[in-house]
Amino acid sequence: MGLRIHFVVDPHGWCCMGLIVFVWLYNIVLIPKIVLFPHYEEGHIPGILIIIFYGISIFCLVALVRASITDPGRLPENPKIPHGEREFWELCNKCNLMRPKRSHHCSRCGHCVRRMDHHCPWINNCVGEDNHWLFLQLCFYTELLTCYALMFSFCHYYYFLPLKKRNLDLFVFRHELAIMRLAAFMGITMLVGITGLFYTQLIGIITDTTSIEKMSNCCEDIE
């Protein structure tokens, strides 16, 4: 079964996705220019490490696009309900359509999604039954790329031999410290956020509980 294309018209989501793409471009351009290529030219690192960096970066971007444009499990207006499963369906009080249990209505997307986990502004899409695995792929590749970039940033200052050749006329080398500090800040922030998100997603899969259901259970316990 092929993946269905799905677009969400949400300016807030587009801004969040734009920020993610900016961080990706920032690191994919500057880290190789400041760290990877200079150390490769002076023989400090093998070329395969640069290939791996770009490979993970491409996987990360592809995962972002796929998670963003893939239909999360949107319910059609006139769903065909199998006769033996009618008791497992219910009426949505927002869009007034029949939906299977464990489906939820997304106010941003304006429709119900099968086994909806949450609406993620960073991919400008819901995370549901049909794209949950793509969202997990995105979390994994993002965490891998962030760790890889942070490792090279650390090695650049504390492990690799000092660079002998530097072009001081280039902007990036004049402001190298500020650029690398900003990259490290974005990397650490991304790593902490993605690690927490990835952990909660894995716990949800193990316990077969979505984020919405967890919030509902917490509200019931408080009441």
Q: What is the pLDDT of residues 31-81, one digit of tens each?
A: 888 888 888 888 888 999 999 999 999 999 999 999 999 989 888 777 777
pLDDT for the residue 172? 62
**Count of Cβ atoms closer than 10 Å to residue 51 Cβ:** 10
Residue 223 CB-half CA count within 13 A = 6
pLDDT < 70 stretches in the chain: 1-3, 84, 165-173, 216-223
Q: Does a structural domain hold residue 2? A: no
Let me know if residue 81 belongs to a domain.
no
Note whether residue 89 is domain-resident.
Answer: no
The residue segments making up the domain with residue 193 are 11-72+128-159+170-222
Marked catalytic residue, from 60, 106, 112, 120: 120
Is 208 domain-assigned?
yes
Kindly state whether residue 56 falls inside one of the protein's structural domains.
Answer: yes
Residue 175 located in a structural domain: yes
Is 120 one of the catalytic residues? Answer: yes
125: phi then psi, degrees, rounded to nearest 5: -160, 160
Into how many domains does the chain fold?
A: 1
- Domain assignment present for 177: yes
Return d(Cα 17, Cα 2) in angstroms, integer. 24
The predicted pLDDT at position 218 comes to 53
Burial code (b: 16+ CB inside 10 Å, e: under 16) for 166-197 equals eeeeeeeeeebeebbeebeebbeebbeebeeb
Residue 84 lies in a domain: no
